Amino acid sequence: MRVRDGPATVTGCWEVPGSQETPAARTDRTRAWTPAERTLAVTPYPFSAVVGLDDLRLALLLTAVSPAVGGVLVRGEKGTAKSTVVRALAALLPEVDVVRGCRFACDPAAPDPGCPDGPHEPGAPHGHRPATLVELPVGATEDRVVGTLDIQRALADGVKAYEPGLLAAAHRGALYVDEVNLLPDHLVDLLLDAAAMGRAHVERDGVSVKHAARFLLVGTMNPEEGEPRPQLVDRFGLVVTVAAPRDPVQRAEVVRRRLAYEAGPDAFASRFAREEAALAARIVAARSAVPSVVLPDAELDRIARISLAYGVDGMRADIVVARCAVALAAWHGRTTVTREDVHDAARLALPHRRRKDPLDPPGTDEERLDEALAQADADMPPDDDPDGGPENPDGGPQDPGGGPEGPGGGPDGPGSGGAPPSSDATPPSSDATPSSSPEGDAGDKSEKPGGQGAAAPAGAVFRTRALTIAARGEGGHAGRRSPAFARRGRVVGSRVPLGKLRGAPHLPATLRAAVHRAAGSTADGSAPGFVQPRDLREAVHVGREANLVLFVVDASGSMAARKRMTVVKTAVLSLLRDAYQRRDRIGMITFRGREAEQVLPPTSSHEVGVLRLAALRTGGRTPLAAGLRTAAATIATERRRDPRRRPLLVVVTDGRATSGPDPVTVAPALAGVSTVVVDCESGPVRLGLARRLAAALGADVMPLDALSAAGTIDPAGRPAAARGRAA
């Protein structure tokens, strides 16, 4: 049975007696579905019917064999069947034994001693149920994820009523997050805590509930929309990059199967029933074989040498590679981990663990990993057997797809052969970081009108001063830049809730309201000695929000003089890093010659901003007014798309305008926009044009050499930085 619960979906589970179903879930479950919708929901796309994607299928199967591997993050462009493959995995997961009536799926063999529905007696009634695949939507609330306490009943009746959330439903199953890179920070924090400790915590004003939450974490994302937090990426054991097939025959087969599935899901699924059953049985067999697989000391030494040669941080990489190698050996039917298992595991578990800078594009170290594997093999001490022994001493199947009935065989074509192929994972260009070639000096060519100089390199980034919007926002997007009303943060007051209590109650204000009501209780006949729901007041918090940081960068010929563009690129790159750390969206506009260009539309992908900045060239005249007009149009468009996100405009220029109208005439179009002008003018004689522009825009002005946060500190302990004015 499937329970469609609000925005989330729980796949493959039945109702547990005694469970508490929310009204939203009950309404959605009992609504009238169309026949086509019901059929597609009940019959998922078969896992073995997926064409190609060998790396992805292998990674998912390995985590099903050994959940201790730590889950899978799937990166890929839109329309590459990422979600389809993940949802198809639910039908292959083995059933689990659960204590009957327990809402937290306790294992009857080892029940959780702290289970809120416990304690469970030994020999308690138990049963079987399919493993769950719980989908966590990006827009879920914190209470929906970890569960919630009924505050009204707790205050009015003294009853601690707890309603489990999605983490409880995913216990001993899988938790799937589509578009995991768009997950809000407060939900990321919850996932990090649960993944690290295996437990979910609900804390509400002195009332605490804890329960086990151990699950297989699977996330999918489109890199074009930005990268997830590095801490979250590190929690995924394996990362796979997928792409649409480039073979026209394979693409045609994908479409043929999809159309056949939509025309008759049951008939289509029956075609692959034998392959699905074989895969499910093989997962069960491999899972039972994992404890008996031997990891020799020589292969442990190889894993350590690979990690050192690759330059990963910490010890999690070594542990994940070891677990994945053991799972690979069990999947192949071997009793001992081999060199090939270690290599294949390293290719799945290491590429995302070497990012030394958060703005370095991931997946750019494939050649470095090959070198690390070769170096580790060369450094290994010689074995007694110079040939390394037979490749498959235990006689198990060689391909990870399990022959004709595995995911890489049968109707999908040949297996992947053990080593994850690289055809589906095209790494970004190696020029992700700004070039350091000596061609960065534009020279005289950039000074000529209409000329175009070479791309100037950028220097080492630095920690910038904090640029913020001084005015308090009205509950925008969670982040770390500007002050705003939020669900978390410092409590600054209380208010009467609009409908259901959305956050923590403000207890002093609630008690005051109860006292005032009790003073007049004789007139309405209410009991004066109890707190009633109408007395509740919710706390008002002030935290930090993320903004839209829009860079307007002068790329004219004057910026190339005396290698000034190198300094400017370094400053903008440092601001990009700061925007990444503060969870902002970014955009970039440049102006040179006769017009302005939006080189980076507003996006969460800061890595793309680094690439565009590295390719930025200089030359020509300075149409400053055109750059400001483009910025005003971009901000107006983004306000229509997302009125809650406030813009912060950063204009990087020397203020000189040699083309187009006077930039001061464009100032009214940017009225009310918080702006900072970074003055790039240098030399002994300065005209002060940037300060004139800042005065017209109502903006703060900051010399380029004062952008670093390594300057003076004010008495409050903060850098003495320029602040954007209130919007």
Identify residue 32 by its one-letter amino acid code: A
Instruction: Report helix, strand or coil for 17.
Output: coil
Separation CA 92–CA 284 (nearest Å): 9
Indicate which residue of 316, 487, 512, 639 is catalytic.
316
Separation CA 435–CA 608 (nearest Å): 15
Classify the phi-psi angles of 403: left when phi > 0, otherwise alpha if psi is within -120 to 50, otherwise beta. Answer: left
Q: Determine how many CB atoms are found less than 10 A away from the CB of residue 251.
A: 14
Separation CA 148–CA 703 (nearest Å): 50
Separation CA 348–CA 339 (nearest Å): 15
Separation CA 150–CA 642 (nearest Å): 32
Q: Which two tokens stand for residue 361?
A: 């594009």
Separation CA 255–CA 21 (nearest Å): 39
Q: How far is CA 636 from CA 81, 548, 643, 672, 673, in A?
A: 35, 12, 10, 12, 10
- Whether 153 is catalytic is no
Q: How far is CA 296 from CA 378, 384, 531, in A?
A: 18, 14, 65
Q: With b meaning 16 or more CB within 10 Å and e meaning fewer, what string describes 522-554?
A: eeeeeeeeebbeebbbbbbbbbbbbbbbbbbbb
**Which helix or strand (DSSP H or E) is residue 508 part of?**
helix 507-519
Separation CA 656–CA 75 (nearest Å): 44
Classify the phi-psi angles of 655: left when phi > 0, otherwise alpha if psi is within -120 to 50, otherwise beta. Answer: left
Q: With b meaning 16 or more CB within 10 Å and e meaning fewer, what string describes 581-613?
A: bbbbbbbbbbbbbeebebbbebbbbbbbbbbeb
CA nearest neighbour of 504 among 528, 473, 475, 537: 537
Q: How far is CA 600 from CA 363, 552, 581, in A?
A: 22, 11, 19
Instruction: Report helix, strand or coil for 234.
Output: helix
Instruction: Report helix, strand or coil for 159.
Output: coil
Long-range contacts of the stretch 2-5 (C-beta < 8 A, 24+) = 2/41, 2/42, 3/29, 4/28, 4/29, 4/41, 5/29
Identify residue 39 by its one-letter amino acid code: T
All residues at 6 or more sequence positions from 563 whose CB lies less than 8 Å from its CB, including other chains: 440, 441, 456
Q: What angle do CA 691, 695, 699 make, to 5 degrees?
A: 95
Separation CA 55–CA 72 (nearest Å): 11
With beta carbons less than 8 A apart as the criterion, state whether 568 and 680 touch: yes
Which residues are catalytically annotated? 316
